Amino acid sequence: MNRVSGKVAIVTGAASGIGRGVAELLAAEGAQVVATDLAAGPGIVQHDVTDEAAWQRVVDNTVATHGRLDILVNAAGIAVWADIERATLADFRRCNAVNNEGVFLGCQAAIRAMKANKAGSIINLSSVAGLVADPDAPAYCASKGAVRLLTKSIALHCARRGYNIRCNSVHPSFIATAMVEGVINANPDPAKMRHALETAAPLRRMGEVREVANLILYLASDESTFTTGAEHVIDGGLTAR
């Protein structure tokens, strides 16, 4: 359908999970996609999202190669499952560095490039854990909650400056990815944990990567040009209760 034909995108965390699904869908819909991840691989640019200089290199190289930057999808993220009594300060700082500071640095670098186009779309992956709390994941909740309001602040800034750069957050619940499988398998009773995640939402299943990717495609495309600073929840109804 070529819904993002002619656009240039950077997608972080693109080696697996939601990031990979988004990169593949944007490419299938006509975008030139620069896929990045901490783990290098075929078609993947090695990129530590916590490194400010690395962000500038990725953005500069993208513009030098493709002439512009239209879309940034901040999909890189990690999860730390440890309650407040078990989590360490190092856990908290690492989770915040990747999930929140990485988004901050990406947005900052992307806006500098997008201003030349007088348009752009930034999509930040938050989580339902950025809207409602999980007692076993204070570090993760704090980092994803920060992304929610960081996104709104960026959206307001860009709108007031007349940049025509939109910024939105996406809030998935449990999606069938390798990261979620890791959480399941790390539990003392994986079968029980899987059942709990599959029945957490009223739709009584986990989401699929393609469902999240479809939402992000809409936000990346010109179909959503009046949408900015908004929370887009994709959770099977989990937060409706």
Coil, helix or strand for 82? coil
Whether the pLDDT of residue 178 is over 90: the answer is no
Residues of the chain with CATH 3.40.50.720: 8-172+208-231
Taking the CB of residue 182, how many other CB atoms lie within 10 A of it? Answer: 12
- Tell me the per-residue pLDDT of 8-18, one tens digit each, with 9 for 90 and over: 999 999 999 99
Of the pLDDT bands very low, low, confident and very high (cuts 50, 70, 90), residue 183 is confident
Cα–Cα separations (whole angstroms), residue 2 to 23, 25, 160, 191 = 14, 10, 30, 41
Of the pLDDT bands very low, low, confident and very high (cuts 50, 70, 90), residue 74 is very high
- Tell me the per-residue pLDDT of 190-219, one tens digit each, with 9 for 90 and over: 999 999 999 999 999 999 999 999 999 999
38-47, 52-61, 224-233: segment of lowest average pLDDT? 38-47
Among the listed residues 55, 92, 104, 140, the single catalytic one is 140
CB 166 within 8 A of CB 216: no
Q: What is the mean pLDDT of residues 163-172?
A: 98
Q: What is the pLDDT of residue 182?
A: 86
Q: What is the pLDDT of residue 62?
A: 98
Q: What is the pLDDT of residue 66?
A: 98
Q: What is the mean pLDDT of residues 207-236?
A: 98
The token pair at 50 is 């916590």
- Tell me the per-residue pLDDT of 83-119, one tens digit each, with 9 for 90 and over: 999 999 999 999 999 999 999 999 999 999 999 999 9
Architecture of domain 8-172+208-231: 3-Layer(aba) Sandwich (3.40)
Q: What is the mean pLDDT of residues 157-161?
A: 98
Percent of the chain with pLDDT over 70: 100
Helices vs strands, H then E, count in the chain: 8, 7
Task: Name which of 74, 95, 218, 138 is nearest 234 in CA terms.
Answer: 218
Bridge-partner residues for 123, per DSSP? 73, 168
CA distance 241 to 100: 27
Task: Measure CA of the first residue to CA of the last residue in the chain; give whole Å.
Answer: 36
97-111, 128-142, 154-168, 170-184: segment of lowest average pLDDT? 170-184
Instruction: Say whether 140 is catalytic.
Output: yes
Whether the pLDDT of residue 1 is over 80: the answer is no
The token pair at 91 is 């856990």
The token pair at 90 is 């190092």
Of the pLDDT bands very low, low, confident and very high (cuts 50, 70, 90), residue 134 is very high
